[in-house]
Amino acid sequence: MRILMIAPPGAGKGTQGALIAAHFNIPHIATGELLRDHVARQTPLGRAVQEYLDRGELVPDEIVLGMVREAMIAAKATGGGYVLDGIPRNMAQARAAYEIGLELGMTADVALHLQADDAELTRRLLARAALEHRSDDTPEVIAQRLALYYDVTAPILAWYSERGILVSVDAMRSASEVGREILVALEAMRPFLDHVPGQDRFPLDLTSLGEAFGATGSPASASE
């Protein structure tokens, strides 16, 4: 199973990425986590990227793509599956990730889109700020990260939709409800992923299922 996730900050990609990775026994490659780890250890890379993270800006593409290429090579050695969390963030990264996938014979089967509205995302990120003290979970930086998501990340969804690999889910629910729906959708797709090329598939929009399957309008908090 080879999955990449596209989601605004606060939608729960960290939580859902970890769940998917555990369920399919594949590596969870989370660029934000990898970058924060470098910052915490104050490696040369960590010192170079710290300001970008603190300001809620994107780290230069070549830095992130280098990390991801390394992680994908390692994933190939452990069976070839992966769940990418936090990349791609813009069209150039989407194309580059696709190129790396082609080169390694492991392009993504599914682009998983988690959808939630801004008020809910901001509420979750501020709740997380109280617990985790991330330097980028302040009201100003949250606004900057959301604006960046709509400007440069969300537009790449159309590309995955055209490629037939987009699966959208309603993330306005508790982490366990969203997780259950994701795993059911991925398990249902699994048998034909190897046999039906992306261009012969259709994007799958499950967002309207939210209400039928437990959306309450006041979702339980979910950390990212």
Choose between 35 and 121: whose C-beta lies nearer to ligand AMP. Answer: 35
Choose between 58 and 127: whose C-beta lies nearer to ligand AMP. Answer: 58
Size of the site for ligand AMP (CB under 6 A): 17
What is d(CA 109, CA 112) in angstroms, rounded to the nearest whole number?
A: 10
Q: Is 53 in the site for ligand AMP (CB under 6 A)?
A: yes
* Choice from 64, 97, 106, 111 touching ligand AMP (CB under 6 A): 64
Choose between 18 and 209: whose C-beta lies nearer to ligand AMP. Answer: 18
Residue with tokens 């050695």: 77
In the bound complex, what is the minimum distance in angstroms from residue 70's beta carbon to ligand AMP?
A: 14
As to burial, measured by CB atoms within 10 angstroms (0-12 exposed, 13-18 middle, 19+ buried), residue 213 is middle
As to burial, measured by CB atoms within 10 angstroms (0-12 exposed, 13-18 middle, 19+ buried), residue 11 is buried
Q: Is 31 in the site for ligand AMP (CB under 6 A)?
A: yes
What is d(CA 74, CA 133) in angstroms, rounded to the nearest whole number?
A: 31
Closest by CA position to 4, among listed 35, 22, 25, 31: 31
What is d(CA 149, CA 194) in angstroms, rounded to the nearest whole number?
A: 31
Choose between 64 and 110: whose C-beta lies nearer to ligand AMP. Answer: 64
In the bound complex, what is the minimum distance in angstroms from residue 183's beta carbon to ligand AMP?
A: 21
* Choice from 18, 23, 48, 52 touching ligand AMP (CB under 6 A): 52
User: 17 and 85 in contact (C-beta within 8 Å)?
Assistant: yes
Contacts with ligand AMP, 83-122, as mask; x by CB under 6 A: ---xx-x---x-----------------------------
Residues 189-208 that bind ligand AMP (CB under 6 A): none
Choose between 11 and 215: whose C-beta lies nearer to ligand AMP. Answer: 11
**CA torsion angle for 192, 102, 65, 147 (degrees, to 10)?**
-50
* Choice from 8, 12, 32, 179 touching ligand AMP (CB under 6 A): 32
* Choice from 72, 115, 116, 136 touching ligand AMP (CB under 6 A): 136
Look up residue 83 and give its amino acid.
V
As to burial, measured by CB atoms within 10 angstroms (0-12 exposed, 13-18 middle, 19+ buried), residue 126 is middle
Residue ranges in contact with ligand AMP by CB under 6 A: 9, 31-32, 35, 52-53, 56-59, 64, 86-87, 89, 93, 136, 145
